[in-house]
C-alpha cells in the first residue's frame, strides 16, 4: 500500500493540512516545518494520489481527445501536434478512437461531461446537427480541429480552408494549360460527416469557373477512401473516350491510387497525365507528388492551445482559426500532352 498524506503527517508530527500545504507550495508554512515534512515525504517515498486530488479539486486533470485515429495518416499527424502541447501541461491525454459512426455518437454524448474531462478536443469529426445544441452548451470546453461545417459557428475550432486549397490545386493545373481536369474524392455524404472532399470540390468548381472551363460531371468520381478504390476509380477516368489530362485527388492516399492506375494503363506521369494530391503526407515527398500541404501538426498544436486558453477562461467568444494550405509542386504535374 502506498503511503498517504496521513502517514506523512504522522511521521512528520504535523497535521494533514500542513502536508497538503507543503505539497502545493503554499507560503503559509514555516521553513523548519516544511523541511520536516519534506523529509517524511522522502522517507516514505510518498506521491500524492491523483484520483483523490481530482475528486477534491473537482477537476479531472484530463483532456479527452476524440479522433478517427487511424483511418488516415493525416489524423496521426494532427494528434502529434495535440500531444506536443499536452506533454508540457499537467493534463493527461485520454484517447477515444472512433472507428464507427456508432462509436462517434456514443463518445459525443458521453465524453463532454464535467465529470469525465476538463476539456475535449475533437479531430476531423463534424457533429451531426442534433448533437450541436448539447455540444454548444457543454459544461466542458470543446475545440474542433478540422471540422468545417456551416452550422458550427458557435463552437471553437481550427480549420483549414479546404475550398481555397481545392481552388489552388485546380488553378495550378489550369495554369499549366490543362482544361480536362478530373476530381477524385470520397463521397460527399459519409457516415463520418467529413467535409473536406466537398469543400475541395467547391474550390475545384470555382477554379474551373474562373477559367471559363465547363464542369464535366463524368470527370468527378468518388468512393470509399482507400488507395485501392481510388485506383479503380482512376482507371475508369483514364479510360474514358475523352480522357482527362489531369487528376486532382482529394488526398495523397487517393493520389497514390491514381498513380497506380496510370502505371497499370501505361500512362506516364506527368507526360501523359498530371496528378495533384492533398495533405502532403510523409510519403508524398518520396513519390515526388505535387500536393497541397496542410499544417497538420500545427493545426493540432493550435487546437490544443485554444482549448487550454478556454479552460483558463482566457477566451470568451467562439473562435475560428483558419490555417492555409500551401501548394507544393513536385514531379507529378506538367503541361498537358498535345491533344489533337
- Residue numbers of the site for its own copies (CB under 8 A)? 2, 47-52, 54-55, 60, 62, 69-70, 76-77, 79-80, 83, 87, 92-95, 97, 103, 110, 113-116, 139, 227, 256, 260, 283, 286
Nearest to 25 by CA among 11, 10, 13, 41: 41
Cβ distance to DNA smaller for residue 2 or 288 = 2
The answer to whether 56 contacts DNA (rule: CB under 7 A) is yes
The three cell numbers locating residue 325: 494550405
Q: For DNA, which residue of 1, 45, 130, 316 counts as binding (CB under 7 A)?
A: 1
**Residues recorded for the chain:** 340
Q: Are strands 142-145 and 119-123 parallel, antiparallel or unpaired?
A: parallel
Strand runs labelled E in the chain: 62-67, 92-97, 119-123, 142-145, 156-160, 181-185, 220-222, 246-249, 274-279, 290-293, 320-323, 326-328
Q: Are strands 142-145 and 156-160 parallel, antiparallel or unpaired?
A: parallel
d(Cα 261, Cα 50) in Å, to the nearest integer? 55
Q: For DNA, which residue of 38, 48, 103, 179 counts as binding (CB under 7 A)?
A: 48
6 binding partner (options its own copies, DNA, none; Cβ < 5 to 8 Å by kind)? DNA
Q: What's the longest Cα–Cα distance across the chain? A: 96
Q: For DNA, which residue of 25, 45, 58, 266 counts as binding (CB under 7 A)?
A: 58
The answer to whether 39 contacts DNA (rule: CB under 7 A) is no
Nearest to 141 by CA among 128, 131, 155: 155
Helix (H) or strand (E) holding 77: helix 73-86
235 binding partner (options DNA, its own copies, none; Cβ < 5 to 8 Å by kind)? none
The whole-angstrom distance between residue 268's C-alpha and the CA centroid of its chain comes to 34
The answer to whether 24 contacts DNA (rule: CB under 7 A) is yes
Please report how close the Cβ of residue 41 comes to DNA at its closest, in angstroms. 10
Long-range contact list for 33-42, CB < 8 A, 24+ apart?
36/12, 37/8, 37/12, 39/12, 40/8, 40/11, 40/12, 41/8
103 binding partner (options DNA, its own copies, none; Cβ < 5 to 8 Å by kind)? its own copies
Please report how close the Cβ of residue 44 comes to DNA at its closest, in angstroms. 10
193 binding partner (options DNA, its own copies, none; Cβ < 5 to 8 Å by kind)? none
The whole-angstrom distance between residue 58's C-alpha and the CA centroid of its chain comes to 29
Cβ distance to DNA smaller for residue 51 or 100 = 51
The answer to whether 32 contacts DNA (rule: CB under 7 A) is yes
95 binding partner (options DNA, its own copies, none; Cβ < 5 to 8 Å by kind)? its own copies
The answer to whether 23 contacts DNA (rule: CB under 7 A) is yes
The answer to whether 318 contacts DNA (rule: CB under 7 A) is no
DSSP annotation string for 216-239: -GGGEEE-SSSHHHHHHHHHHHHT
Cβ distance to its own copies smaller for residue 210 or 331 = 331
93 binding partner (options its own copies, DNA, none; Cβ < 5 to 8 Å by kind)? its own copies
Q: Given the rule CB under 7 A, which residues bind DNA?
A: 1-2, 4-6, 13-21, 23-24, 27-30, 32-33, 46, 48-49, 51-53, 55-58
Amino acid at each position: 500500500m502506498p503511503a498517504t498524506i496521513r502517514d506523512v503527517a504522522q511521521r512528520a508530527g504535523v497535521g494533514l493540512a500542513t502536508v497538503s500545504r507543503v505539497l502545493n507550495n503554499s507560503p503559509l508554512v514555516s521553513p523548519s516545518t516544511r523541511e520536516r515534512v519534506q523529509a517524511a515525504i522522502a522517507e516514505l517515498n510518498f506521491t500524492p494520489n491523483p484520483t483523490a486530488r481530482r475528486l477534491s479539486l473537482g477537476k479531472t486533470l484530463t483532456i479527452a481527445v476524440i479522433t478517427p485515429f487511424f483511418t488516415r495518416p493525416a489524423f496521426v499527424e494532427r494528434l502529434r501536434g495535440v500531444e506536443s502541447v499536452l506533454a508540457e501541461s499537467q493534463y493527461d491525454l485520454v484517447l477515444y478512437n472512433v472507428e464507427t459512426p456508432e462509436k462517434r455518437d456514443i463518445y459525443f454524448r458521453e465524453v463532454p461531461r464535467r465529470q469525465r474531462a476538463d476539456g475535449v478536443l475533437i479531430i476531423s469529426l463534424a457533429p451531426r446537427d442534433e448533437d450541436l445544441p448539447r455540444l454548444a452548451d457543454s459544461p466542458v470546453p470543446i475545440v474542433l480541429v478540422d471540422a468545417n461545417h456551416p452550422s458550427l459557428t458557435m463552437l471553437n475550432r481550427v480549420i483549414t480552408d479546404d475550398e481555397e486549397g481545392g481552388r489552388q490545386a485546380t488553378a495550378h493545373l489550369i495554369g499549366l494549360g490543362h482544361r480536362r481536369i478530373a476530381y477524385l474524392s470520397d463521397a460527399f455524404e459519409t457516415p463520418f460527416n467529413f467535409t473536406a472532399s466537398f469543400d475541395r470540390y467547391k474550390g475545384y468548381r470555382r477554379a474551373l469557373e474562373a477559367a471559363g472551363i465547363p464542369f464535366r460531371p463524368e470527370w468527378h468520381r468518388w468512393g470509399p477512401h482507400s488507395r485501392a478504390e481510388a485506383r479503380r476509380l482512376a482507371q475508369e477516368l483514364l479510360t474514358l473516350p475523352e480522357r482527362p489530362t489531369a487528376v486532382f485527388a482529394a488526398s495523397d492516399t487517393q493520389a497514390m491510387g491514381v498513380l497506380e492506375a496510370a502505371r497499370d494503363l501505361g500512362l506516364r506521369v506527368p507526360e501523359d497525365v498530371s496528378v495533384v494530391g492533398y495533405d502532403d503526407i510523409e510519403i508524398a515527398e518520396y513519390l515526388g507528388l505535387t500536393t497541397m500541404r496542410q499544417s497538420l501538426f500545427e493545426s493540432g498544436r493550435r487546437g490544443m492551445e485554444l482549448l487550454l486558453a478556454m479552460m483558463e477562461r482566457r477566451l470568451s467568444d467562439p473562435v475560428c482559426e483558419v490555417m492555409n494550405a500551401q501548394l507544393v509542386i513536385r514531379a507529378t504535374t506538367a503541361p498537358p500532352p498535345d491533344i489533337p
